Structure formats: structure tokens, C-alpha cells
Amino acid sequence: MDGTIYSAWLFTAALGLTLIYGVMKIVNVTHGSFYALGAYAGASLTGAWLAAGYPPMLSYVVLLVAAVLVAIVVAPLIERGILRFMYAKDEVVILLITYALFLILEDVIKLIWGVNPYFIAEPYALLGSFEVGGLAYPTYNLILVLLALVSGVGLMWLLHSTRVGKLLVAVIHDPEVSRAMGINVHRYYLATFTFGSLLAALAGAFTAPTVSVVPGLGVEIIVLSFAVVVIGGLGSLPGAALGAVIVGVVRSVSVHYWPAVELFVIYFVMAMVLAFRPRGLFSLAEPRKI
């Protein structure tokens, strides 16, 4: 059960990362910042909402709005302002650029929200709890699972059953030919980056009630999402789901039976997968380019 909740949370966070890599071939360290931004925005907006005395049941909507706001304001700024000039550079160099942006955003967060922790426990406690096998679980956790399912299934549907999604698949396969066919590739890049960041911000916003929101939130999530995405295969949606499930289950098993190896085991799985299937479990064969 713990495993499911943890997997759901990881999946939401990692989904955007794998989407951005799949479409734009960017290993996006900034993803961690969006997670943290989402958490902070969620915490402060919901805090204000509750303080103003509005119905607490709607605070979930406020969390959603906070995440959307973050993604719509910050993501295009970064993509249009900086990243689009960098697409010609090497994958590893782009990784460094997103790392630089990550450092900058980390401090921007500190400047806006200060270094003190934020707590908003109301939405967490509001729904009560339910029992599984004699153990009580907060019902709020089901929202996390629901969020993961909705974003996963929604993204799959978007990609495979809509016109926009099909065009996006074309862009993934060959940006150059897609451009020749009259697709505005840059617009798709912008949309992808914004949507991927939105997923990170959503994961952050909905995690905010369960933890205390402190600086350094993004630092941890980013390596974990890397582990998830790498295990499943960079740029593969079912891969991210599988990776999240593997990491979630492995972690909760180790927490229950052998807590000393909790952190170790996640990265050990990541290293093992990289060692035997460098492109991840769900990777497709890729032509060698000379």
C-alpha cells in the first residue's frame, strides 16, 4: 500500500521529465525547481485561501490552480527566454544549462518565499482516513493515486487519440521532416515544456499538504525522478510507469524489511538497469549514427 502511494507520487513527478526528454531530448534538471515551485505556490495559495475563510473542500481546486499558474508563468519564460536558443547544443551541455537554471530558480524560490518552512495540513486531514488490514491510511493519499492515474492515462490519450498528439508523435520521430510538413515544431516544444513542467508543479502542489515545504525540496525529487525515468527508459511513458512502480515497491519493501538500505537500493536498481539495459527497460532499438 505504501508502495502504491509512493509509486503514484513518483510517477506524476517523473512523467513530465520523460515527456520532455522524449520530445525535446532535454534531460531537464529544472524539473526539480518546478516541483518545488508548485509545492510553494500550492502551500501559500491554499494557506491564503483557508485564512480567508473559504470552504476548505475547495482547497484541492486551489492546489490545482497554483500548479497551473506556476507552469503557465514560469515554463514559457524559460523555454522562450533561454532554452530555445540552446537546442543546437549537445545533450550534455543542455543538461548543464538546465542545471544552471535549477540553481537560479532554487534561490528565486528562497527570495520569494523565504527560508522558513510552510505547513498546510488541512487538506490532508480533511478527508479522514480508511483502514486496510488494520492500518489506517489518510484518504488524501488516494488523491495522489488518482492524480497519477489521470495524468498518465490523460497523456496517453492525448498522444494517441488526438490530432495534436499525433502531430507531436511526428515531431518526436523527426523534427526536421515535421517542419517540412508544415508543423510548427517550436510551438510544440513550448507546449511540451509547459505541459511537462505542469506535471512537476502538480506533483509538488499535491505533495505540499503532506510534508513541510522547505528549501531543497527540488534537490531530492530530481534524482529520484531521474532514477525512475532511467529505469523505465528515457522518453517512454509506459517506462516511467514501470519505473515508478519498481522504485515504489522496492523502496517500501526495503523500508519494511531492511531500512538500512532504503536509499541505496533505489540507486542500485538504477545502476543495474543502466548496466544491463543502458537505454532502460522499455527502450526501442535506435539506429547507430556515424
State how far the Cα of 168 lies from the Cα of 186, in Å rounded to an integer.
11
Among 96, 126, 149, 214, interactor with another protein by CB under 8 A: 96
Does 106 help bind another protein (rule: CB under 8 A)? yes
Pick between residue 145 and residue 265 the one whose CB is nearest to another protein: 265
Question: Residue 219, interface with another protein (CB under 8 A)?
Answer: yes
* Angstrom distance (rounded) from CA 38 to CA 44: 10
- Helix-, strand-, coil-residue percentages of the chain, each rounded to 5: 75, 5, 20
| 122 versus 262: smaller Cβ distance to another protein | 262
Asked if 284 touches another protein (CB under 8 A), the answer is no
Pick one of 57, 103, 136, 153: the residue that binds another protein (CB under 8 A): 103
Sign of torsion, CA 248 204 77 82?
Answer: negative
Other CB atoms within a 10 A radius of the CB of residue 155 amount to 20
Partner residues linked to 213 by β-bridges? 118
The verdict on 281 binding another protein (CB under 8 A) reads: no
Is 81 an interacting residue with respect to another protein (CB under 8 A)? no
Q: How far apart (Å, rounded) are the C-alpha atoms in residues 182 and 188?
A: 12
* CB 211 to another protein: min, Å: 18
Considering only 64-72, 86-94, 155-163, 167-175, which stretch makes contact with another protein by CB under 8 A? 86-94
For another protein, the closer CB: 27 or 143: 27
> Which CB, 180 or 290, lies closer to another protein?
290
Secondary structure class of 30 (helix, strand, coil): coil
Grid cell listed for 118: 510552510
Choose, by CB under 8 A, the member of 101, 144, 213, 247 that binds another protein.
101
